[in-house]
């Protein structure tokens, strides 16, 4: 094999490797799922809030995490490769538990605005961790955007229900829109 053919083969293998890595670590699906679930929580916030929201997220977090896990397992089977998912599973579970604790403890202390803000900060921190795990500047930017928005809302004079509603709406819309954009970009690169 001549040097030119060898270089083309190496380039081709490198391109395939990048494409496979991108598909194994694509994050459009969890963004879309959890963005949609967050938008679904707006009904609970508007009608009941408090403990009902904790019940909603206990169920929704489990369903969303299970759906996300199945999505990634299907990707692995299609590609014939396995990705390291243990860290992602731990982070996802920690986010759900952290949100429930932040909201529940603050709510139990009757710090309603803190109960509305705390879970959002946990999710923003989760984005930062996922960004680090996936080496993704895009996820880091989303986390920074949401963290900044959460701090801006925290400094506002909104009441607890309005705070929870605004943050859930923003996080849900950002998740769904980002999920759709990243899905379109992934489809384009295939």
Q: pLDDT value at position 24?
A: 47
> Residues with Cβ < 8 Å from 97, sequence gap 6 or more?
none
Task: Enter the pTM of the model.
Answer: 0.79
Q: pLDDT value at position 34?
A: 92
pLDDT tens string for the chain (190 positions)?
677 766 666 555 555 555 555 554 578 888 999 999 999 999 999 898 678 888 898 899 889 988 888 887 887 777 665 656 666 778 777 888 888 888 778 777 877 888 788 888 998 998 898 888 888 888 899 999 999 999 999 999 888 888 989 999 999 999 999 999 988 887 776 6
Q: Are 99 and 123 in contact (CB under 8 A)?
A: yes
Distance in angstroms (rounded) separating the CA atoms of residues 71 and 50: 31
Distance in angstroms (rounded) separating the CA atoms of residues 136 and 7: 29
Distance in angstroms (rounded) separating the CA atoms of residues 151 and 174: 16
Distance in angstroms (rounded) separating the CA atoms of residues 102 and 122: 8
Place of tokens 């900044």: 148
């Amino acid at each position: 094999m001549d040097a030119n053919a060898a270089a083309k083969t190496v380039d081709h293998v490198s391109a395939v490797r990048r494409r496979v890595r991108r598909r194994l670590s694509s994050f459009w699906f969890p963004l879309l799922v959890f963005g949609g679930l967050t938008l679904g929580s707006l009904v609970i916030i508007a009608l009941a809030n408090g403990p009902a929201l904790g019940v909603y997220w206990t169920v929704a977090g489990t369903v969303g995490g299970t759906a996300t896990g199945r999505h990634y397992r299907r990707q692995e089977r299609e590609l014939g490769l396995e990705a390291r998912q243990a860290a992602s599973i731990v982070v996802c579970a920690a986010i759900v538990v952290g949100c429930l604790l932040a909201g529940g403890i603050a709510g139990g202390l009757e710090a309603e605005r803190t109960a509305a803000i705390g879970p959002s900060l946990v999710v923003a921190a989760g984005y930062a961790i996922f960004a680090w795990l996936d080496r993704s500047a895009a996820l880091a930017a989303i986390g920074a955007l949401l963290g900044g928005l959460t701090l801006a809302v925290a400094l506002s004079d909104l009441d607890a229900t309005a705070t929870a509603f605004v943050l859930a709406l923003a996080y849900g819309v950002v998740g769904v829109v980002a999920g759709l954009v990243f899905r379109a970009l992934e489809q384009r690169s295939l």
